[in-house]
Chain A
Amino acid sequence: MTNSNGNVDQYWKKNIQIVTILLSIWFLASFGFGIIFVNHLDQINFFGFKLGFWFAQQGSILIFVAIIFIYIRLMKKLDQDFKEEIDD
Chain B
Amino acid sequence: MSIQSLTYLFVGISFGLYIFIAIKSRAGSTHEFYIAGKGVHPVANGMATAADWMSAASFISMAGLISFMGRDGAVYLMGWTGGYVLLALLLAPYLRKFGQYTVPDFIGTRYYSNTARVVAVLCLIIVSFTYVAGQMRGVGIVFSRFLEVEIETGVIIGMGIVFFYAVLGGMKGITYTQVAQYCVLIFAYLVPAIFISILITGNPIPQFGFGDRLIDQDIYLLEKLDLIMTDIGFKPYTSGLKETIDVFCITAALMLGTAGLPHVIVRFFTVPDVASARRSAGYALIFIAILYTTAPAVSTFARYNLLESTHDVSYQEAPQWFKNWEDIGLIAWRDKNNDGLIQYASGNAFDPVKPKYLDSKGEFGERVIANNSQASSGNEVYIDRDIMVLANPEIAELPPWIIALVAAGALAAALSTAAGLLLVISASVSHDLIKKTFATNITEKKELLYARFSVLIAVIIAGLFGIYPPGFVAQVVAFAFGLAAATLFPALLLGIFTKKINKEGAISGMLAGLIFTLTYIVYFKFMHPELNFSSNWLWGISPEGIGTIGMVINISVSLIVSLVTRKTPDEIRDLVDQIRQP
Residue positions of A touching B, CB distance < 8 A: 8, 11-12, 15, 19, 22-23, 26, 30-31, 34-36, 38-39, 42, 46-50, 52-54, 56-58, 60-62, 64-65, 67-69, 71-72, 75-76, 78-79, 82-83
Chain A residues near B220 (CB-CB < 8 A): 48
Question: Do residues B71 and A26 form an inter-chain contact, with CB atoms below 8 A?
Answer: no
- A-B pairs, 9 with minimum CB distance: A56-B74, A48-B211, A57-B296, A68-B282, A49-B211, A79-B582, A48-B220, A68-B88, A53-B238
Q: How far is the CA of A42 from the CA of B286 in the complex (A)?
A: 27
Do A64 and B222 touch (CB < 8 A)?
no
Residue B275 lies at the interface, judged by CB distance under 8 Å to chain A:
yes
Is A68 in contact with B285, judged by CB distance below 8 angstroms?
A: yes
Contacting residue for B278 out of A26, A72, A82, CB 8 A: A72
Tell me which of B207, B244, B285 contacts A36 (CB under 8 A): B244
Main SS class of interface, A: helix
Contact with A along B76-105 (1 / 0, CB 8 A): 011001101100111001000000000000
Assess whether B81 is in contact with A64, with CB atoms less than 8 Å apart.
yes
Does B208 belong to the interface (CB within 8 Å)? yes
Residue of B nearest to A53 (CB): B238
Residues of the A chain whose Cβ atoms lie less than 8 Å from the Cβ of B78: 30, 34, 56, 60-61
A-B contact pairs, 19 of them (CB 8 A): A8-B581, A11-B580, A23-B85, A26-B82, A31-B251, A35-B74, A35-B247, A36-B248, A47-B208, A47-B211, A56-B77, A58-B296, A64-B84, A68-B278, A69-B282, A72-B279, A75-B582, A79-B275, A79-B582
Hey, what's the 0/1 contact readout for B38-61 against A, CB within 8 Å counting as 1?
000000000000000000000000
Complex interface: chain A residues within 8 A of B278 (CB): 68, 71-72, 75
Q: Report the Cα distance A64→B222, complex, angstroms.
A: 25
Q: Is the CB of B275 within 8 A of A68?
A: no
Residues of chain B lying within 8 A (CB to CB) of residue A26: 82, 85
- B251 contacts A23, C-beta separation under 8 Å: no
Given contacts A19-B89, A22-B89, A75-B275, 9 further A-B contacts (CB under 8 A): A31-B248, A31-B252, A58-B293, A64-B81, A64-B85, A65-B285, A71-B282, A79-B275, A82-B582
The yes or no answer to B289 lying at the interface (CB within 8 A) is yes
From B73, B296, B581, name the one whose CB has the most chain A CB atoms within 10 angstroms: B581
A residues within 8 A CB of B255? 30
Residue among A36, A64, A82, A83 with max Cβ neighbours from chain B (10 Å): A64
- Please give the distance in Å from B219's CB to the nearest CB on chain A: 10
Known: A35-B247, A50-B238, A60-B78. A71 touches B88 (CB 8 A): yes
> Is there contact, CB below 8 Å, between A30 and B285?
no
Interface string of B56-75 (1 = CB under 8 A from A): 00000000001000010110
Proximity string of chain B (215-247) to chain A, C-beta cutoff 8 Å, 1 when within and 0 when not: 000001110000000000000001010001001
B292 contacts A by Cβ under 8 Å: yes
Contact B71 A65 (CB under 8 A): no
Judge whether A65 and B74 touch: CB under 8 Å: no
Contact mask for chain B residues 322-349; partner A; CB cutoff 8 A; 1 contact, 0 none: 0000000000000000000000000000
Asked whether B150 is an interface residue with its Cβ less than 8 Å from the other chain, the reply is no
Q: Is the CB of B85 within 8 A of A68?
A: yes
Task: Judge if B577 is at the interface, Cβ distance under 8 Å.
Answer: yes
**Cα of A35 to Cα of B251 in the assembled complex, Å:** 9
Q: Is B213 an interface residue (CB 8 A)?
A: yes
B544 at interface by CB-CB < 8 Å? no
B32 close to chain A: CB less than 8 A: no
How far is A22 from B281 in the complex, measured between Cα atoms in Å?
Answer: 15
CA distance A13 to B84 in the complex (A): 23
**Partner among B85, B208, B252, B582 whose Cβ is within 8 Å of the Cβ of A67:** B85
Chain A residues near B296: list those with CB within 8 A.
57-58
Within 8 Å by CB of A62, from B222, B289, B580, lies: B289
Is the CB–CB distance between B286 and A65 below 8 Å?
A: yes
Contact of B212 with A by CB under 8 A: yes
Residues of A within 8 A of B90 (CB): 19
For B285, what are the chain A residues with a Cβ–Cβ distance below 8 Å?
64-65, 68
User: Which residues on the B side are within 8 Å of A15 (C-beta)?
Assistant: 580
Instruction: Pick from A23, A35, A56: contact of B89, CB below 8 A.
Output: A23
Least CB separation from B242: chain A residue: A35
Which residue on chain A has the smallest CB distance to residue B250? A35
B542-582, CB under 8 A of A: which get 1 and which 0?
00000000000000000000000000000000000100111
Complex Cα gap A82–B221 (Å): 52
Q: Is the CB of B282 within 8 A of A57?
A: no
A57 touches B73 (CB 8 A): yes
Q: How far is the CB of A46 from chain B (nearest CB, A)?
A: 8
Of the candidates B74, B88, B281, B581, which one forms a contact with A57 in the assembled complex, judged by CB atoms under 8 Å apart?
B74
Partner of A58, one of B66, B89, B207, B212: B207
* Cα of A34 to Cα of B73 in the assembled complex, Å: 11
- Chain B residues with Cβ under 8 A from A71's Cβ? 88-89, 278, 282
State how many angstroms separate the Cβ of B279 from the closest Cβ of chain A: 6
In the bound assembly, the distance between CA atoms of A72 and B93 in angstroms comes to 11
